[in-house]
Amino acid sequence: MTDIKSREAKLLDGDALLAELAEWWNSPEVDKFSHKTPGRIAGGEWDQPIPEGVQNPYWEIIRQLPLDSMAYGPWRMRPEPTTHVFTANSVRYFADRFDLCATYSWSMCSPGDIAWLKDVLAGRAVVETGAGTGYWAWQMEQAGIDVVAYDPNEQEEGNTFARRTWTTVLRDDHGASRHHPDRALFLCWPSYSDPWAAQSLASYEGDMLIYAGEGEGGCTADDEFYRLLEAEWEEISGSPAHFSYWGIHCYLTAYRRKGADR
């Protein structure tokens, strides 16, 4: 068993993790609570093919992770991948979620999410602040979406939030949204109780917001962000293809500024 608490923060090796998962799926262990073999997204009804010519290594991992065995209900409409399995004698860890998130993105990015984004944007360009690794920007770029991404911090192995880059991420503060009122603003998993999402939204003068994160009272953004969202924005669409880790309630939602031309 891997002791997850002993791991140092590091850049996750995706190929090694996929090989580890493939070996485990050759003889998967039964979950000691459900007494069932865990499922996975790969090969099932929720699987989403990666378009030809597109790279999405995060999704390749997500679709191979075991799914939580709890039954779905009104609050659990989709399978929830998990990084561990409770076996008869121990807990089998595959990865630390924080390593996965800091290597790729804090919000999962499925092929269906990008297809939904492209449809909602209808040719519009995007500005992303707090872009972290730039993983979402990279996925959008591969789909032909024009993106400019910003983050004030360097991506490095010691960075808790982003340990590498996947595309060009420019250095600027979270108010960089003020430079691009013609673009849709994309905010992905704003840090918990941190004011940067509210600062970015308050600086933005455009009329479309795409937000990936939890709702008010959850583990993303601060109260001021949700106050601004409630006061000035209205929801227009949500991605039906979006996934979250077990126990995480992430949604991918599009908003229009109230009073803006439709």
| CA–CA dist 18, 237 (Å, integer) | 33
Whose tokens are 């800091």? That residue is 102
pLDDT at 69: 77
pLDDT at 130: 97
Which residues face 60 on adjacent strands? none
pLDDT at 114: 98
| CA–CA dist 229, 196 (Å, integer) | 14
| CA–CA dist 129, 85 (Å, integer) | 35
- The interaxial angle of helices 135-142 and 111-121, nearest 10 deg, is 70
Predicted TM-score (pTM) above 0.85:
yes
Rg (the chain; Cα; Å): 19
Fill in the amino acid letter for 229: L
Taken in order of first residue, the domains within the chain and their CATH numbers are: 103-257 (3.40.50.150)
Which residues face 238 on adjacent strands? 253
Find the length of the chain: 262
Segments of the chain scoring below 50 in pLDDT? 1-7, 73-74
| CA–CA dist 41, 156 (Å, integer) | 31
Which two tokens mark 168?
């060009």
